[in-house]
Amino acid sequence: MAENKTIRLPIVFCLLVDFPDDKVDCSPSSITADHSTIPICFKCPKLGRFLTGDLLDDHGSAGHIICILIWILVVIVGLFGTITNCLIISIMRRHNGKRSFDFLLIVLASFDLLSCMMSVISTSAMVTYYEDLDRGPVTLFMYYMPFLLSLLGRTGSSYMTVLITVERFLVIRYPIKSGAWFTPTNTKLMTVGVAIFAVLLNIPRVSSLMLSRNDAGKDVPSLLHMEYIIRSTELEEFWYHSLKSVHYLIDIMVPFPLLIIFNTLLFIEIKRFTSKRKELSRKQMKDIRAARMFVPVVIVLFLCNIEPMSHYLTLHITGMYYRELVLFLNLSITVNASANLPIYYARGHSFRQEIQSALPSFLQCGNPKEESKTGDISMVGRHTPGNSSSNDQYF
């Protein structure tokens, strides 16, 4: 008998299947090809499991109930984040003259908005599949593609946070030169660079998966009654084996050393300046307050990435892809993407006033037709040479 033909499945699909503990499942019968019998086998590199040990079809069990509860939290937090990020974008777009820092916050809110919406859609499709409400091709597609897009939003949000932290440090450290560095045009180019970088980091994920008919696995016990499955593309071998998932490590690990370095430098600069409080100009004091405002955003980002890092370690140490942890991953993404407006609201009196005035008439993202009743309020002033932040009314 010829050697088995083994098809490797992607781990995002292994999450939806109860494969045997040896990670391989084969058809009981063989097929004939060139007068040779070749059993068809499928392999899951990581096993999808519930932490409670329940099976996928054990509906009403503890594992299923936990996943449903986490899904409810994801939907609540995700919808809140969708509304609040739309509100941030709406408020920032009210100003006729787009300040550099305003534009940075608009882009950050846009990435967070993407994460919130896609996490809600992906998690809803995931639970729909778990509970066997629908396991067709639409549910599979709405599970894996929005999940990948939510990771794209998380990548963009992380690196936008790095860019904003660097901007705050340079504005305080070089108050005159930074005005020339962070002109509106330069700032837009920087954000475009971040967006392109985020897309490049996520191309391996998107290009490694495809939705396919389950023609080869229709006799495999674990894949019975599945009309469609998620398959790996030919590029998956290149991205995840030849390159050793280096894109994933850059996505997850690189932002945090950068944030630690620049926040440490920022803290040193703030401490140096505040020791000479009486000598500081009004502009410098406002820049310092703006920098302090953004620190909680960085802290939330750190806290919300504890779960993804723990999930990554658990996945590679145990070889298990736990369904509850994947839902917690989606929850951490939505919490991180939903936290900015509460932080701005708590730490900025004028921003709080504008939210209160805008919320009753707030209907959709962007395109507000009226100026704020409180005037031309901005997170920081317009960046011009020699005046990097002269109208920092929020702080």
Q: Where are the domains of the chain?
A: 57-361
Query: Contacts by 352-360 with C-beta closer than 8 Å and gap 24+?
Result: 353/377, 354/91, 354/94, 355/87, 355/91, 358/87, 358/90, 358/91, 358/94, 359/87
CA-based diameter of the chain, in Å? 90
- Residue 282's pLDDT is 65
CA proximity to 360, closest of 103, 116, 167, 90: 90
Q: Which residue spans within the chain are E strands per DSSP?
A: 5-8, 24-26, 31-33, 36-38, 40-43, 47-49, 209-213, 228-232, 320-322
Q: Is the pLDDT of residue 102 over 90?
A: no
Q: What is the dihedral of CA 306, 308, 314, 316, to 10 degrees?
A: -130
Report the percentage of the chain scoring pLDDT > 90.
44
Round to whole Å and give the CA distance between 194 and 44.
Answer: 34
pLDDT band at 9 (very low <50, low <70, confident <90, very high): very high
Round to whole Å and give the CA distance between 225 and 142.
Answer: 19
Q: What is the pLDDT of residues 218-240, one digit of tens each?
A: 889 999 889 999 999 988 878 87
Q: Is the pLDDT of residue 212 over 90?
A: yes
- Residue 244's pLDDT is 66
Q: Is the pLDDT of residue 133 over 90?
A: yes
pLDDT, mean of residues 302-314: 84
- Residue 319's pLDDT is 85
- Residue 173's pLDDT is 83
Q: Is the pLDDT of residue 349 over 90?
A: no
pLDDT, mean of residues 244-252: 79
Tokens of 222: 């674990």
Round to whole Å and give the CA distance between 394 and 127.
Answer: 41
Between residues 1 and 104, which one has the greater pLDDT?
Answer: 104
- Residue 101's pLDDT is 77
Q: Is the pLDDT of residue 155 over 50?
A: yes
Q: Are 163 and 191 in contact (CB under 8 A)?
A: yes
**The CATH homologous superfamily of the domain defined by 57-361:** Rhodopsin 7-helix transmembrane proteins (1.20.1070.10)
pLDDT, mean of residues 240-250: 76
When mean pLDDT is compared across 89-98, 202-211, 245-254, the lowest value belongs to 89-98
Could you tell me the sign of the dihedral formed by the alpha carbons of 173, 106, 120, 249, in that order?
Answer: negative
Q: Are 163 and 262 in contact (CB under 8 A)?
A: no
pLDDT, mean of residues 331-354: 84
Q: Is the pLDDT of residue 395 over 50?
A: no
- Residue 385's pLDDT is 39
- Residue 372's pLDDT is 42
Q: Is the pLDDT of residue 380 over 50?
A: no
pLDDT band at 40 (very low <50, low <70, confident <90, very high): confident
Do the strands 31-33 and 36-38 form a parallel or antiparallel pair, or are they unpaired?
A: antiparallel
pLDDT, mean of residues 292-319: 84
Do the strands 24-26 and 209-213 form a parallel or antiparallel pair, or are they unpaired?
A: unpaired
pLDDT, mean of residues 261-277: 79
Across all residues in the chain, what is the average pLDDT? 82
Question: Residue 139: enclosing H or E segment and its boundaries?
Answer: helix 137-173
Report the percentage of the chain scoring pLDDT > 70.
81
When mean pLDDT is compared across 62-71, 195-204, 213-222, 363-372, the lowest value belongs to 363-372
Count of CA atoms in the C-beta half-sphere (13 A) of 260: 6
- Residue 369's pLDDT is 46
